[in-house]
């Protein structure tokens, strides 16, 4: 099942940024949504395990050309 936080992302750019804070992580994704509009998603994760699962889910999304 696709992660609900990224369900509206149809294509992602080549770069994924991960930020580490004292109380968690933020993953920033850029790409296009399901309506072919440019999109930036900033997703908050509480643990490194959540980040890893998010990256695994994002890996299933096609890369934008």
Average pLDDT, the chain: 93
pLDDT of residue 3: 77
> Which two tokens mark 30?
């850029």
With left for phi above 0 and alpha for psi between -120 and 50, is residue 38 left, alpha or beta? beta
How far apart, in whole angstroms, are the C-alpha atoms of residue 35 and residue 10?
8
pLDDT of residue 1: 39
Query: Where is 22: in which H helix or E strand?
Result: none
How far apart, in whole angstroms, are the C-alpha atoms of residue 23 and residue 43?
14
Question: Mean pLDDT over residues 53-64, rounded?
Answer: 95
Prediction pTM value: 0.87
Q: pLDDT digits over 7-29, tens only?
A: 899 999 999 999 999 999 999 99
Contacts 24+ apart (CB under 8 A), 16-24: 16/55, 16/58, 18/51
């Amino acid at each position: 099942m696709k992660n609900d936080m990224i369900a509206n992302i149809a294509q992602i750019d080549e770069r994924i940024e991960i930020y580490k804070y004292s109380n968690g992580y933020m993953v920033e994704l850029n790409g296009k949504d399901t309506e072919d509009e440019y999109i930036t998603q900033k997703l908050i994760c509480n643990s490194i395990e959540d980040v890893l699962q998010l990256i695994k889910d994002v890996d299933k999304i096609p890369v934008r050309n």
